[in-house]
Structure 1
């Protein structure tokens, strides 16, 4: 497969009054053209900051310290702000977590949908209007012509999220980044949005990065999954690898915290005890070691290696060393 995106050894920090917060620590991964990649992990694990670094949308106290952001043959880390403005919304579309705060409350939906078409595609207002109506129809918004004249507060939560999806797709980008696109929605709307994203992926053949803390959300949409913790990728593999053959205790913990449809009887969901690491003073060894019931002395003292545990399946855990004690994963098979 031809690579669309390749992130190499990305390090991103935020400089605060308390010190340097090392939010992303040596993250590397790739995305093929037409592929859907899931990035999962708890809040604060570095998922969104990795993508904000890619989009160059960090706050004033944030800085990309190191790394390459190769998108379609160009290193985005080296581009000027003007060059990035031509990429955002045009070649890379982003669906933000909360559509109510992402949409401008004083502009109509039509104005916000047509703006990128006029700017990036040099369309006339009429051409942009027709294209925006077509995208509204594609994402399932009824009466799109009249809806174009309305304001964000006149839409329901699910409809606002559909508008955000339409906005991210309107210029037919090569990459769509969806940051927790279903978090604020009820389960029925969640299912509709995920089904919509799958359909759109097939129709426009775009690549998708889906950011979420919920492994259940990525199971039906993504080809591969990156599991992040403490600003690092601790496991990466195909969706089947992660669900059927997980190799990192943190992944086990995430799987134990979601219902297993294979169980005939109800099973108790088990949360992960403890707190995420302090990224002002990140631990020397494995960031998950203080919360891991299988942690060994080496986990606390040695730099964390990445082990090849299968074809295109990697895990950063000492339990995968040939001399480590054998541990049976405490999770059963999950239906995909």
Structure 2
């Protein structure tokens, strides 16, 4: 399949009064046309910062230090601000994390939906309004014509999230970035939003990057998964690789802390003890070593290289070295 986005060795830092926070530390991944890719990890690991780096919407203290992000051959890191304005919201759109605060409270829903159409597609107000009604119907909002003149506070959380998705899809983007799109929603609405995203992906062949800490969400939508920790991608593979052959201790920990509805035996969940690394002073070795019960001395001294587990599946964990001790759950054994 053809690559839509290729991110290579991306580094992003924030320069604060207490020092440099190295939020993203050399990550590499790609997205193919029409594919949904997951970016998974706990809060603070650098998922959202990675996407904001690509769209160049970092805070004033943030800076992309090195690396490239080729979107259909154009490097998003190096192109001019004018070129970026043409891409952002048009060819690449983003659903932000909190639907409660992402919409402007002083503008109507219609106003906010029509803005990208007027700016990027140069539509007339009449045509933009007509398209806005179609978008609201597409994401399952009833009485779409009436809803255009309402304000965000008149919508529920699930409805606002649907509006955010409609705004992101307004210009038929080639890439949709969904940052925790179901976090603030109840379980029923979560399922509806995920079903909607799957339907839209199949209907208009939009590529999706799904940012989440919920493994159940990526299992339902994504074909490939990148596991991120401490500003680095520690494991990459297909959905089957990650769930049935986890090859990094952090991935194993994530899977162990998720309830398994298929098991008939009642088991306690196994939380990952400890805290994420301080990215003001990131460790020289594996960032997960202080929390890893399998950590060896070398893990604390030197960052492990990527070990190729199988085609398209790699993990930066010394437990994959031929001389490492055997650990339950690795090397295709799967989870029971």
* TM-score with structure 1 setting the length: 0.98
Report Cα offsets for 1:193-228 as digits up to 9, x if no partner. Answer: 001100000011000000001111110100000000
1:116 corresponds in structure 2 to 116
Counterpart residue number, 1:176: 176
Post-superposition Cα deviations, 1:97-147, rounded to whole Å, max 9, x if no partner, equal 111211111000001001100110010001111111111101000000000
What is the root-mean-square deviation of aligned Cα atoms in Å? 1.1
> Which residue in the other structure is 2:11 paired with?
11
Whole-Å Cα distance in 1 between the matches of residues 16 and 329 of structure 2?
39
| Structure 2: distance between partners of 1:193 and 1:75 | 31
C-alpha deviation, 1:269, in angstroms: 1.1
1:43-94 deviation per Cα after TM superposition (whole angstroms, max 9, x unaligned): 0111000000001010000000000010111001112222211111100010
Q: Who is 1:63 aligned against?
A: 63
Q: Size of the alignment, in residue pairs?
A: 334
The answer to whether residue 226 in structure 2 is matched with residue 226 in structure 1 is yes
Q: Which runs of 4+ in 1 moved over 4 A?
A: none
1:20-31 equivalences in 2 (<5 Å): 20-31=20-31
For residues 206-225 of structure 1, the aligned pairs below 5 Å read 206-225=206-225
Shift of 1:309: 0.5
Q: Which residue of 1 aligns with 2:297?
A: 297
CA deviation vs aligned residue, 1:132-179 (integer Å, no higher than 9, x gap):
111110100000000000000000000000000000001000000000
Of the structure 1 ranges 24-33 and 296-305, higher mean CA displacement relative to structure 2 is found in 296-305
Matched residue SS, 2:221: coil
Please state whether the residue corresponding to 1:85 is helix, strand or coil. Answer: helix
8 Å CA contact 2:9–2:26 kept in 1: the answer is yes
- Quote how far apart the aligned CAs of 1:332 are: 5.5
- Whole-angstrom distance in 1 between the partners of 2:155 and 2:266: 38
Residue pair 2:329, 2:335 contacting (<8 A) in 1 also: no
> 1: CA distance between counterparts of 2:49 and 2:182?
18
Greater mean alpha carbon deviation, residues 122-131 or residues 81-90 = 81-90
Do structure 1's residue 242 and structure 2's residue 267 form an aligned pair?
no
Distance 2:166 2:280 in 1: 38
- Structure 2: segments with no counterpart, 5+ residues: none
The aligned counterpart of 1:144 is 144
**In structure 2, what is the Cα distance between the partners aligned to 1:64 and 1:134?**
38
3-state SS, counterpart of residue 280 of structure 2: coil
Q: Is the 8 A contact 1:262 1:333 kept in 2?
A: no
